[in-house]
A and B are shown apart, each in its own frame.
Chain A
Protein backbone atom coordinates (compact mmCIF):
# COMPACT_ATOMS: atom_id res chain seq x y z
CA UNK A 1 0.00 0.00 0.00
CA UNK A 2 2.83 2.33 0.89
CA UNK A 3 4.57 1.51 -2.34
CA UNK A 4 1.42 2.19 -4.28
CA UNK A 5 0.98 5.53 -2.58
CA UNK A 6 4.56 6.42 -3.38
CA UNK A 7 3.89 5.57 -7.01
CA UNK A 8 0.94 7.88 -6.94
CA UNK A 9 3.00 10.68 -5.47
CA UNK A 10 5.77 10.18 -8.01
CA UNK A 11 3.20 10.27 -10.75
CA UNK A 12 2.05 13.71 -9.64
CA UNK A 13 5.42 15.23 -10.27
CA UNK A 14 6.08 14.19 -13.81
CA UNK A 15 2.42 13.94 -14.66
CA UNK A 16 1.95 17.63 -13.96
CA UNK A 17 4.68 18.58 -16.40
CA UNK A 18 3.33 16.36 -19.10
CA UNK A 19 -0.10 17.76 -18.41
CA UNK A 20 1.05 21.33 -18.93
CA UNK A 21 2.79 20.58 -22.19
CA UNK A 22 -0.21 18.50 -23.22
CA UNK A 23 -2.46 21.45 -22.45
CA UNK A 24 -0.33 23.54 -24.77
CA UNK A 25 -0.72 20.98 -27.51
CA UNK A 26 -4.45 20.76 -26.98
CA UNK A 27 -4.81 24.52 -27.27
CA UNK A 28 -3.12 24.52 -30.62
CA UNK A 29 -4.98 21.45 -31.76
CA UNK A 30 -8.32 22.96 -30.84
CA UNK A 31 -7.65 26.08 -32.80
CA UNK A 32 -5.98 24.57 -35.82
CA UNK A 33 -6.23 20.73 -35.74
CA UNK A 34 -2.48 20.78 -35.96
CA UNK A 35 -0.06 18.96 -33.68
CA UNK A 36 2.87 21.20 -32.99
CA UNK A 37 5.95 18.99 -32.85
CA UNK A 38 7.98 21.96 -31.74
CA UNK A 39 5.95 22.53 -28.58
CA UNK A 40 8.43 20.85 -26.26
CA UNK A 41 11.35 22.80 -27.65
CA UNK A 42 9.45 26.06 -27.43
CA UNK A 43 8.82 25.24 -23.78
CA UNK A 44 12.48 24.41 -23.23
CA UNK A 45 13.54 27.68 -24.81
CA UNK A 46 11.08 29.50 -22.57
CA UNK A 47 12.54 27.83 -19.50
CA UNK A 48 16.03 28.87 -20.56
CA UNK A 49 14.87 32.42 -20.97
CA UNK A 50 13.49 32.25 -17.45
CA UNK A 51 16.84 30.95 -16.26
CA UNK A 52 18.71 33.74 -17.99
CA UNK A 53 16.42 36.40 -16.59
CA UNK A 54 16.90 34.99 -13.12
CA UNK A 55 20.66 35.00 -13.59
CA UNK A 56 20.43 38.63 -14.49
CA UNK A 57 18.89 39.34 -11.13
CA UNK A 58 15.17 39.24 -11.76
CA UNK A 59 13.31 37.47 -8.95
CA UNK A 60 12.29 33.88 -9.72
CA UNK A 61 8.59 34.17 -10.28
CA UNK A 62 8.98 37.48 -12.06
CA UNK A 63 11.34 35.76 -14.41
CA UNK A 64 8.82 33.01 -14.98
CA UNK A 65 6.08 35.45 -15.83
CA UNK A 66 8.27 37.47 -18.15
CA UNK A 67 9.53 34.28 -19.72
CA UNK A 68 5.97 33.16 -20.35
CA UNK A 69 5.06 36.47 -21.94
CA UNK A 70 8.16 36.42 -24.07
CA UNK A 71 7.57 32.91 -25.30
CA UNK A 72 3.98 33.86 -26.02
CA UNK A 73 5.08 36.72 -28.20
CA UNK A 74 7.63 34.53 -29.93
CA UNK A 75 4.98 31.91 -30.62
CA UNK A 76 2.61 34.51 -32.04
CA UNK A 77 5.38 35.57 -34.42
CA UNK A 78 6.07 31.98 -35.40
CA UNK A 79 2.42 31.42 -36.17
CA UNK A 80 2.21 34.54 -38.26
CA UNK A 81 5.38 33.90 -40.20
CA UNK A 82 5.34 30.21 -40.75
CA UNK A 83 2.05 28.56 -39.99
CA UNK A 84 -0.45 31.05 -41.35
CA UNK A 85 0.61 30.55 -44.91
CA UNK A 86 -0.57 26.99 -45.18
CA UNK A 87 -3.93 25.40 -45.81
CA UNK A 88 -4.89 23.78 -42.50
CA UNK A 89 -6.26 20.75 -44.29
CA UNK A 90 -2.94 19.87 -45.89
CA UNK A 91 -1.03 18.21 -43.10
CA UNK A 92 2.28 17.42 -44.71
CA UNK A 93 3.81 20.90 -45.04
CA UNK A 94 2.64 21.82 -41.56
CA UNK A 95 4.14 18.69 -40.02
CA UNK A 96 7.38 19.45 -41.77
CA UNK A 97 7.46 23.06 -40.67
CA UNK A 98 6.95 22.15 -37.03
CA UNK A 99 9.68 19.53 -37.35
CA UNK A 100 11.92 22.21 -38.80
CA UNK A 101 11.10 24.51 -35.91
CA UNK A 102 11.88 21.64 -33.57
CA UNK A 103 15.38 21.35 -35.01
CA UNK A 104 16.01 25.07 -35.17
CA UNK A 105 14.83 25.92 -31.66
CA UNK A 106 16.76 23.03 -30.16
CA UNK A 107 19.91 24.04 -32.00
CA UNK A 108 19.57 27.69 -31.07
CA UNK A 109 19.18 26.87 -27.40
CA UNK A 110 22.17 24.53 -27.53
CA UNK A 111 24.30 27.11 -29.29
CA UNK A 112 23.42 29.82 -26.82
CA UNK A 113 23.54 27.88 -23.61
CA UNK A 114 25.63 24.84 -24.51
CA UNK A 115 24.93 21.39 -23.23
CA UNK A 116 26.28 21.65 -19.70
CA UNK A 117 23.55 21.13 -17.14
CA UNK A 118 22.68 24.26 -15.22
CA UNK A 119 20.83 24.77 -11.97
CA UNK A 120 17.37 26.10 -12.31
CA UNK A 121 15.91 28.27 -9.54
CA UNK A 122 13.87 26.36 -7.02
CA UNK A 123 10.41 27.69 -7.56
CA UNK A 124 8.84 25.80 -4.74
CA UNK A 125 9.79 25.17 -1.14
CA UNK A 126 11.81 22.02 -0.69
CA UNK A 127 11.32 19.11 1.63
CA UNK A 128 8.61 16.61 2.32
CA UNK A 129 5.17 17.85 3.12
CA UNK A 130 3.26 14.72 3.88
CA UNK A 131 4.45 11.36 5.04
CA UNK A 132 2.06 8.45 5.06
CA UNK A 133 3.79 5.38 6.37
CA UNK A 134 6.77 5.00 4.06
CA UNK A 135 5.36 7.10 1.28
CA UNK A 136 6.64 10.64 1.09
CA UNK A 137 5.06 13.46 -0.81
CA UNK A 138 7.33 16.42 -1.40
CA UNK A 139 6.24 20.04 -1.39
CA UNK A 140 7.53 20.19 -4.90
CA UNK A 141 5.02 17.63 -6.10
CA UNK A 142 2.15 19.36 -4.38
CA UNK A 143 3.02 22.72 -5.82
CA UNK A 144 3.68 21.32 -9.27
CA UNK A 145 0.28 19.72 -9.33
CA UNK A 146 -1.30 22.79 -7.80
CA UNK A 147 0.21 24.99 -10.48
CA UNK A 148 -1.20 22.68 -13.07
CA UNK A 149 -4.68 22.98 -11.64
CA UNK A 150 -4.29 26.72 -11.37
CA UNK A 151 -3.29 27.02 -15.01
CA UNK A 152 -6.26 24.96 -16.05
CA UNK A 153 -8.63 27.09 -14.06
CA UNK A 154 -7.16 30.26 -15.49
CA UNK A 155 -7.41 28.89 -19.00
CA UNK A 156 -10.95 27.77 -18.41
CA UNK A 157 -11.89 31.24 -17.18
CA UNK A 158 -10.04 32.91 -20.00
CA UNK A 159 -11.77 30.79 -22.58
CA UNK A 160 -15.27 30.99 -21.17
CA UNK A 161 -15.49 34.47 -19.74
CA UNK A 162 -13.56 36.69 -22.11
CA UNK A 163 -14.37 37.87 -25.60
CA UNK A 164 -11.17 36.57 -27.10
CA UNK A 165 -11.72 33.27 -25.34
CA UNK A 166 -15.13 33.08 -26.95
CA UNK A 167 -13.58 33.88 -30.30
CA UNK A 168 -11.07 31.09 -29.78
CA UNK A 169 -13.77 28.57 -29.00
CA UNK A 170 -15.82 29.76 -31.93
CA UNK A 171 -12.89 29.29 -34.26
CA UNK A 172 -12.30 25.77 -32.94
CA UNK A 173 -15.95 25.00 -33.36
CA UNK A 174 -16.71 26.35 -36.81
CA UNK A 175 -14.12 28.22 -38.77
CA UNK A 176 -16.37 29.44 -41.54
CA UNK A 177 -19.10 30.75 -39.33
CA UNK A 178 -16.48 32.50 -37.24
CA UNK A 179 -15.38 34.41 -40.27
CA UNK A 180 -18.97 35.27 -41.08
CA UNK A 181 -19.36 36.71 -37.61
CA UNK A 182 -16.45 39.01 -38.12
CA UNK A 183 -13.90 37.19 -35.98
CA UNK A 184 -10.37 37.86 -37.14
CA UNK A 185 -9.09 34.33 -37.51
CA UNK A 186 -5.42 35.18 -37.74
CA UNK A 187 -5.37 37.12 -34.50
CA UNK A 188 -7.35 34.47 -32.73
CA UNK A 189 -4.94 31.76 -33.81
CA UNK A 190 -2.01 33.81 -32.67
CA UNK A 191 -3.66 34.16 -29.32
CA UNK A 192 -3.98 30.38 -29.15
CA UNK A 193 -0.32 29.88 -30.01
CA UNK A 194 0.74 32.47 -27.47
CA UNK A 195 -1.32 30.87 -24.72
CA UNK A 196 0.03 27.46 -25.62
CA UNK A 197 3.62 28.67 -25.53
CA UNK A 198 3.09 30.34 -22.17
CA UNK A 199 1.60 27.17 -20.70
CA UNK A 200 4.47 25.17 -22.15
CA UNK A 201 7.08 27.48 -20.70
CA UNK A 202 5.49 27.22 -17.29
CA UNK A 203 5.45 23.45 -17.64
CA UNK A 204 9.11 23.28 -18.57
CA UNK A 205 10.04 25.70 -15.79
CA UNK A 206 8.24 23.63 -13.22
CA UNK A 207 9.90 20.52 -14.58
CA UNK A 208 13.33 22.07 -14.39
CA UNK A 209 12.65 23.40 -10.91
CA UNK A 210 12.61 19.83 -9.65
CA UNK A 211 15.33 19.73 -7.00
CA UNK A 212 16.80 16.54 -8.44
CA UNK A 213 17.01 17.83 -12.00
CA UNK A 214 19.11 20.30 -13.90
CA UNK A 215 18.25 22.15 -17.06
CA UNK A 216 19.92 21.54 -20.37
CA UNK A 217 18.68 21.72 -23.95
CA UNK A 218 17.59 18.11 -24.19
CA UNK A 219 15.25 18.06 -21.19
CA UNK A 220 12.08 18.33 -23.18
CA UNK A 221 12.96 15.79 -25.85
CA UNK A 222 11.63 12.83 -23.96
CA UNK A 223 8.83 14.84 -22.44
CA UNK A 224 7.51 15.54 -25.91
CA UNK A 225 6.48 12.00 -26.65
CA UNK A 226 4.95 11.65 -23.20
CA UNK A 227 3.06 14.90 -23.55
CA UNK A 228 1.74 14.07 -26.99
CA UNK A 229 0.56 10.71 -25.74
CA UNK A 230 -1.01 12.41 -22.74
CA UNK A 231 -2.84 14.83 -25.00
CA UNK A 232 -4.05 12.05 -27.27
CA UNK A 233 -5.12 9.97 -24.29
CA UNK A 234 -7.13 12.83 -22.90
CA UNK A 235 -8.70 13.60 -26.21
CA UNK A 236 -6.82 16.04 -28.35
CA UNK A 237 -9.38 18.78 -28.00
CA UNK A 238 -10.05 18.62 -24.28
CA UNK A 239 -8.07 20.72 -21.81
CA UNK A 240 -9.13 18.75 -18.75
CA UNK A 241 -8.45 15.63 -20.75
CA UNK A 242 -4.87 16.83 -21.07
CA UNK A 243 -4.60 17.00 -17.29
CA UNK A 244 -6.09 13.56 -16.92
CA UNK A 245 -3.91 12.19 -19.67
CA UNK A 246 -0.79 13.74 -18.17
CA UNK A 247 -1.43 12.24 -14.77
CA UNK A 248 -2.22 8.88 -16.31
CA UNK A 249 1.02 8.83 -18.26
CA UNK A 250 2.89 9.91 -15.15
CA UNK A 251 1.29 7.06 -13.31
CA UNK A 252 2.01 4.52 -16.04
CA UNK A 253 5.62 5.67 -15.91
CA UNK A 254 6.06 5.12 -12.22
CA UNK A 255 4.30 1.80 -12.39
CA UNK A 256 6.22 0.55 -15.40
CA UNK A 257 9.52 1.49 -13.84
CA UNK A 258 8.94 -0.80 -10.92
CA UNK A 259 7.09 -3.72 -12.27
CA UNK A 260 8.72 -4.46 -15.58
CA UNK A 261 12.25 -5.78 -15.31
CA UNK A 262 13.80 -4.06 -18.29
CA UNK A 263 15.86 -0.92 -18.53
CA UNK A 264 13.42 1.43 -16.87
CA UNK A 265 14.20 4.60 -18.77
CA UNK A 266 13.74 3.00 -22.11
CA UNK A 267 10.65 1.05 -21.32
CA UNK A 268 8.64 4.02 -20.17
CA UNK A 269 9.16 5.43 -23.61
CA UNK A 270 8.01 2.18 -25.14
CA UNK A 271 4.99 2.16 -22.88
CA UNK A 272 4.07 5.67 -23.99
CA UNK A 273 4.33 4.79 -27.66
CA UNK A 274 2.24 1.67 -27.16
CA UNK A 275 -0.43 3.72 -25.40
CA UNK A 276 -0.32 6.19 -28.28
CA UNK A 277 -0.74 3.42 -30.79
CA UNK A 278 -3.72 1.99 -28.95
CA UNK A 279 -5.40 5.36 -28.52
CA UNK A 280 -4.93 6.48 -32.11
CA UNK A 281 -6.04 3.16 -33.54
CA UNK A 282 -8.95 2.30 -31.34
CA UNK A 283 -10.22 5.35 -29.54
CA UNK A 284 -9.04 8.52 -31.18
CA UNK A 285 -11.24 10.72 -29.04
CA UNK A 286 -9.42 9.60 -25.90
CA UNK A 287 -11.00 10.08 -22.48
CA UNK A 288 -12.78 13.36 -22.85
CA UNK A 289 -12.39 14.45 -26.44
CA UNK A 290 -15.32 15.05 -28.73
CA UNK A 291 -16.11 12.30 -31.18
CA UNK A 292 -15.58 14.66 -34.07
CA UNK A 293 -11.81 14.51 -33.67
CA UNK A 294 -11.16 13.53 -37.21
CA UNK A 295 -8.88 10.86 -38.40
CA UNK A 296 -9.31 11.48 -42.06
Chain B
Protein backbone atom coordinates (compact mmCIF):
# COMPACT_ATOMS: atom_id res chain seq x y z
CA UNK B 1 0.00 0.00 0.00
CA UNK B 2 2.97 2.32 0.28
CA UNK B 3 2.86 2.84 -3.45
CA UNK B 4 -0.75 3.97 -3.58
CA UNK B 5 -1.14 7.50 -4.80
CA UNK B 6 -4.65 8.07 -3.53
CA UNK B 7 -6.27 6.08 -0.77
CA UNK B 8 -9.87 6.77 0.14
CA UNK B 9 -11.65 5.03 2.99
CA UNK B 10 -14.97 5.40 4.80
CA UNK B 11 -15.70 8.54 2.85
CA UNK B 12 -19.03 10.01 3.90
CA UNK B 13 -20.44 13.25 2.54
CA UNK B 14 -23.60 15.11 3.46
CA UNK B 15 -25.36 18.03 1.81
CA UNK B 16 -27.41 19.59 4.54
CA UNK B 17 -29.37 16.72 5.99
CA UNK B 18 -28.92 14.33 3.10
CA UNK B 19 -26.11 11.84 3.13
CA UNK B 20 -24.78 11.49 -0.40
CA UNK B 21 -21.81 9.18 0.06
CA UNK B 22 -22.07 6.33 2.50
CA UNK B 23 -18.56 5.50 3.56
CA UNK B 24 -17.00 4.49 0.22
CA UNK B 25 -13.56 3.00 -0.24
CA UNK B 26 -11.32 3.04 -3.30
CA UNK B 27 -7.73 3.73 -4.33
CA UNK B 28 -5.63 4.89 -7.23
CA UNK B 29 -2.12 3.68 -8.04
CA UNK B 30 0.48 5.87 -9.72
CA UNK B 31 0.24 6.04 -13.52
CA UNK B 32 -3.15 4.42 -13.53
CA UNK B 33 -6.31 5.56 -15.22
CA UNK B 34 -9.18 4.77 -12.90
CA UNK B 35 -12.77 5.38 -13.83
CA UNK B 36 -15.80 5.88 -11.57
CA UNK B 37 -19.05 5.14 -13.33
CA UNK B 38 -22.56 5.77 -12.20
CA UNK B 39 -25.87 7.34 -13.03
CA UNK B 40 -26.85 10.91 -12.21
CA UNK B 41 -27.06 11.52 -8.53
CA UNK B 42 -24.97 8.53 -7.62
CA UNK B 43 -22.41 10.77 -5.95
CA UNK B 44 -19.66 10.82 -8.54
CA UNK B 45 -19.16 14.57 -8.59
CA UNK B 46 -19.28 14.70 -4.82
CA UNK B 47 -16.50 12.16 -4.65
CA UNK B 48 -14.19 14.30 -6.75
CA UNK B 49 -15.15 17.43 -4.87
CA UNK B 50 -14.34 15.68 -1.64
CA UNK B 51 -10.85 14.92 -2.91
CA UNK B 52 -10.18 18.45 -4.12
CA UNK B 53 -11.44 19.92 -0.86
CA UNK B 54 -14.52 21.67 -2.20
CA UNK B 55 -16.92 19.81 0.04
CA UNK B 56 -16.57 18.74 3.63
CA UNK B 57 -16.52 15.06 4.40
CA UNK B 58 -15.69 12.54 7.09
CA UNK B 59 -13.52 9.50 6.63
CA UNK B 60 -10.01 9.43 5.30
CA UNK B 61 -8.39 10.60 2.11
CA UNK B 62 -4.66 10.03 1.86
CA UNK B 63 -2.52 11.37 -0.97
CA UNK B 64 0.99 9.99 -1.10
CA UNK B 65 0.48 8.91 2.44
CA UNK B 66 -0.57 12.34 3.75
CA UNK B 67 -4.09 12.99 4.88
CA UNK B 68 -5.78 15.71 2.87
CA UNK B 69 -9.29 15.39 4.17
CA UNK B 70 -9.54 18.70 6.00
CA UNK B 71 -7.39 20.80 3.74
CA UNK B 72 -8.50 23.82 1.75
CA UNK B 73 -8.63 23.53 -2.05
CA UNK B 74 -5.78 25.91 -2.67
CA UNK B 75 -3.59 23.76 -0.47
CA UNK B 76 -4.62 20.52 -2.16
CA UNK B 77 -3.74 21.90 -5.57
CA UNK B 78 -0.29 22.65 -4.25
CA UNK B 79 0.02 19.07 -3.14
CA UNK B 80 -0.35 17.92 -6.72
CA UNK B 81 -4.02 17.24 -7.38
CA UNK B 82 -5.75 19.11 -10.20
CA UNK B 83 -9.52 19.00 -10.63
CA UNK B 84 -11.30 19.68 -13.90
CA UNK B 85 -14.85 20.34 -12.71
CA UNK B 86 -18.08 19.33 -14.33
CA UNK B 87 -19.02 21.75 -17.07
CA UNK B 88 -15.38 22.61 -17.75
CA UNK B 89 -15.16 25.50 -15.27
CA UNK B 90 -13.32 27.82 -17.61
CA UNK B 91 -13.00 31.53 -16.94
CA UNK B 92 -15.22 32.83 -19.71
CA UNK B 93 -14.11 36.47 -19.60
CA UNK B 94 -10.42 35.64 -19.64
CA UNK B 95 -8.56 34.72 -22.83
CA UNK B 96 -7.49 31.19 -23.58
CA UNK B 97 -3.92 32.00 -22.70
CA UNK B 98 -4.96 33.73 -19.49
CA UNK B 99 -6.95 30.66 -18.54
CA UNK B 100 -3.83 28.58 -18.95
CA UNK B 101 -1.77 31.01 -16.94
CA UNK B 102 -4.27 30.85 -14.11
CA UNK B 103 -3.79 27.11 -14.25
CA UNK B 104 -0.11 27.68 -13.57
CA UNK B 105 -0.91 30.04 -10.71
CA UNK B 106 0.77 27.98 -8.02
CA UNK B 107 4.01 27.82 -9.96
CA UNK B 108 6.77 30.34 -10.00
CA UNK B 109 9.36 28.55 -12.10
CA UNK B 110 10.75 29.38 -15.53
CA UNK B 111 9.17 26.57 -17.44
CA UNK B 112 5.68 27.96 -17.64
CA UNK B 113 6.26 29.29 -21.13
CA UNK B 114 7.59 25.94 -22.28
CA UNK B 115 4.56 24.18 -20.88
CA UNK B 116 2.28 26.65 -22.60
CA UNK B 117 3.97 25.84 -25.85
CA UNK B 118 3.65 22.11 -25.41
CA UNK B 119 -0.01 22.55 -24.59
CA UNK B 120 -0.47 24.48 -27.81
CA UNK B 121 1.29 21.67 -29.64
CA UNK B 122 -1.11 19.12 -28.25
CA UNK B 123 -4.13 21.25 -29.04
CA UNK B 124 -3.33 23.51 -31.97
CA UNK B 125 -6.82 24.98 -31.93
CA UNK B 126 -6.06 26.51 -28.54
CA UNK B 127 -3.06 28.22 -30.04
CA UNK B 128 -5.22 29.66 -32.81
CA UNK B 129 -7.68 30.99 -30.30
CA UNK B 130 -5.24 31.91 -27.57
CA UNK B 131 -6.27 35.58 -27.55
CA UNK B 132 -9.98 34.92 -27.70
CA UNK B 133 -12.14 34.87 -24.63
CA UNK B 134 -12.70 31.38 -23.30
CA UNK B 135 -16.42 31.91 -23.34
CA UNK B 136 -16.39 32.06 -27.13
CA UNK B 137 -14.99 28.56 -27.52
CA UNK B 138 -17.06 25.53 -28.44
CA UNK B 139 -17.78 22.82 -25.89
CA UNK B 140 -15.04 20.56 -27.10
CA UNK B 141 -12.51 23.38 -27.20
CA UNK B 142 -13.43 24.40 -23.70
CA UNK B 143 -12.86 20.86 -22.53
CA UNK B 144 -9.43 20.87 -24.11
CA UNK B 145 -8.77 24.18 -22.42
CA UNK B 146 -9.98 22.94 -19.06
CA UNK B 147 -7.78 19.86 -19.16
CA UNK B 148 -4.78 21.84 -20.35
CA UNK B 149 -5.33 24.35 -17.61
CA UNK B 150 -5.35 21.59 -15.03
CA UNK B 151 -2.16 20.16 -16.48
CA UNK B 152 -0.43 23.53 -16.23
CA UNK B 153 -0.14 23.01 -12.50
CA UNK B 154 1.91 19.91 -13.19
CA UNK B 155 -0.25 17.63 -11.09
CA UNK B 156 0.50 14.09 -10.06
CA UNK B 157 -3.18 13.26 -10.04
CA UNK B 158 -5.71 14.63 -12.47
CA UNK B 159 -9.39 14.53 -11.53
CA UNK B 160 -11.81 14.76 -14.45
CA UNK B 161 -15.54 15.22 -13.89
CA UNK B 162 -17.62 13.97 -16.82
CA UNK B 163 -15.35 15.22 -19.61
CA UNK B 164 -17.69 13.85 -22.28
CA UNK B 165 -20.71 15.77 -21.06
CA UNK B 166 -22.41 17.66 -23.85
CA UNK B 167 -19.86 16.80 -26.50
CA UNK B 168 -20.28 15.08 -29.85
CA UNK B 169 -19.02 11.47 -30.04
CA UNK B 170 -16.08 12.15 -32.39
CA UNK B 171 -14.88 14.94 -30.17
CA UNK B 172 -15.16 12.71 -27.14
CA UNK B 173 -13.17 10.01 -28.88
CA UNK B 174 -10.40 12.42 -29.78
CA UNK B 175 -10.39 13.78 -26.26
CA UNK B 176 -10.07 10.42 -24.61
CA UNK B 177 -7.39 9.33 -27.06
CA UNK B 178 -5.29 12.25 -25.96
CA UNK B 179 -5.97 11.46 -22.31
CA UNK B 180 -4.56 8.01 -22.93
CA UNK B 181 -1.54 9.52 -24.64
CA UNK B 182 -0.99 11.96 -21.80
CA UNK B 183 -1.09 9.13 -19.34
CA UNK B 184 1.40 7.10 -21.37
CA UNK B 185 3.80 9.93 -22.19
CA UNK B 186 3.66 12.08 -19.11
CA UNK B 187 2.71 9.40 -16.64
CA UNK B 188 -0.14 11.52 -15.30
CA UNK B 189 -2.41 9.50 -13.06
CA UNK B 190 -6.06 10.08 -13.80
CA UNK B 191 -9.27 9.57 -11.89
CA UNK B 192 -12.15 10.05 -14.28
CA UNK B 193 -15.80 10.22 -13.37
CA UNK B 194 -18.05 9.38 -16.30
CA UNK B 195 -21.50 8.40 -17.43
CA UNK B 196 -20.22 7.28 -20.79
CA UNK B 197 -19.11 3.84 -19.62
CA UNK B 198 -18.14 2.49 -23.01
CA UNK B 199 -15.43 4.92 -23.88
CA UNK B 200 -14.28 5.30 -20.32
CA UNK B 201 -13.75 1.61 -19.74
CA UNK B 202 -12.02 1.28 -23.11
CA UNK B 203 -9.06 3.35 -21.97
CA UNK B 204 -9.05 2.84 -18.23
CA UNK B 205 -7.06 0.37 -16.21
CA UNK B 206 -9.59 -0.15 -13.44
CA UNK B 207 -13.10 0.96 -12.69
CA UNK B 208 -15.62 1.40 -9.88
CA UNK B 209 -19.35 1.66 -10.18
CA UNK B 210 -21.06 4.04 -7.79
CA UNK B 211 -24.73 3.52 -7.05
CA UNK B 212 -26.63 5.75 -4.63
CA UNK B 213 -23.52 6.69 -2.75
CA UNK B 214 -22.05 3.23 -2.47
CA UNK B 215 -19.56 1.26 -4.51
CA UNK B 216 -21.48 -1.53 -6.16
CA UNK B 217 -18.85 -3.06 -8.42
CA UNK B 218 -15.11 -2.75 -8.84
CA UNK B 219 -12.45 -4.39 -10.92
CA UNK B 220 -10.19 -4.36 -13.95
CA UNK B 221 -11.64 -2.30 -16.76
CA UNK B 222 -11.58 -5.03 -19.38
CA UNK B 223 -13.37 -7.40 -17.03
CA UNK B 224 -15.99 -4.80 -16.19
CA UNK B 225 -16.70 -4.29 -19.87
CA UNK B 226 -17.64 -7.91 -20.10
CA UNK B 227 -19.62 -8.00 -16.89
CA UNK B 228 -23.30 -8.71 -17.56
CA UNK B 229 -24.77 -6.39 -15.01
CA UNK B 230 -22.66 -3.50 -16.24
CA UNK B 231 -23.49 -4.25 -19.83
CA UNK B 232 -27.17 -4.09 -19.10
CA UNK B 233 -27.06 -1.02 -16.96
CA UNK B 234 -24.50 1.11 -18.70
CA UNK B 235 -23.55 -0.32 -22.01
CA UNK B 236 -27.00 -0.97 -23.38
CA UNK B 237 -27.05 -4.75 -23.21
Contacts and interface: CB of A to CB of B under 8 A. Distances in A.
Do A and B assemble together? yes
Contacts of A176: 54, 85, 89
Interface in A149-208: 163, 166-167, 169-170, 172-174, 176-185
A176 B90 CA distance: 10
A181 B105 contact: yes
A166 B152 CA distance: 15
B96 to A, nearest CB: 13
B41 interface: no
Main secondary structure of the interface of A (DSSP, over half): helix
B103 interface: yes
Interface stretch (B58-66, B73-81, B166-174, B224-232): B73-81
B78 to A, nearest CB: 6
Please indicate which of the listed interface residues B78, B94, B106, B153 has the most CB atoms of chain A within 10 Å of its own CB. Answer: B94
Contacts, number: 66
A27 B101 CA distance: 22
Contacts of A170: 91, 94, 102, 105
Contacts of A177: 85, 89-91, 102
B92 interface: yes
Contact of A173 (B73, B74, B94, B105): B94
Contact of A180 (B77, B92, B93, B94): B77
A167 B94 CA distance: 11
B206 interface: no
Interface residues of A, number: 19
Interface residues of B, number: 23
Contact of B91 (A163, A174, A182, A290): A174
Interface string B138-159: 0000000000010001000000
B214 interface: no
Interface of B: 52, 54, 73-74, 77-78, 82-83, 85, 89-94, 98, 101-103, 105-106, 149, 153
Given A166-B98, A173-B91, 15 more contacts: A167-B102, A169-B91, A169-B93, A169-B98, A170-B105, A173-B92, A177-B90, A177-B91, A177-B102, A179-B73, A179-B74, A180-B82, A181-B106, A181-B149, A182-B153
A183 B102 contact: yes
Contacts of A179: 54, 73-74
B77 A181 contact: yes
Interface of A: 163, 166-167, 169-170, 172-174, 176-185, 290
B22 to A, nearest CB: 25
B51 to A, nearest CB: 11
Contact of A169 (B77, B83, B94, B149): B94
Contacts of A163: 105
Contacts of A173: 91-94
Contacts of B101: 166
B81 to A, nearest CB: 10
Please indicate which of the listed interface residues B77, B92, B105, B153 has the most CB atoms of chain A within 10 Å of its own CB. Answer: B105
Nearest to B77: A182
A236 to B, nearest CB: 14
Please indicate which of the listed interface residues B54, B74, B98 has the most CB atoms of chain A within 10 Å of its own CB. Answer: B74
B104 to A, nearest CB: 8
A21 to B, nearest CB: 24
B106 A174 contact: no
A236 B103 CA distance: 27
A146 to B, nearest CB: 29
Contacts of B149: 181
A182 B94 contact: no
26 contacts: A163-B105, A166-B94, A166-B105, A169-B91, A169-B98, A170-B94, A173-B91, A173-B93, A174-B89, A176-B85, A176-B89, A177-B90, A177-B91, A177-B102, A178-B102, A180-B73, A180-B85, A181-B102, A181-B103, A181-B106, A181-B153, A182-B74, A182-B78, A183-B74, A183-B102, A183-B105
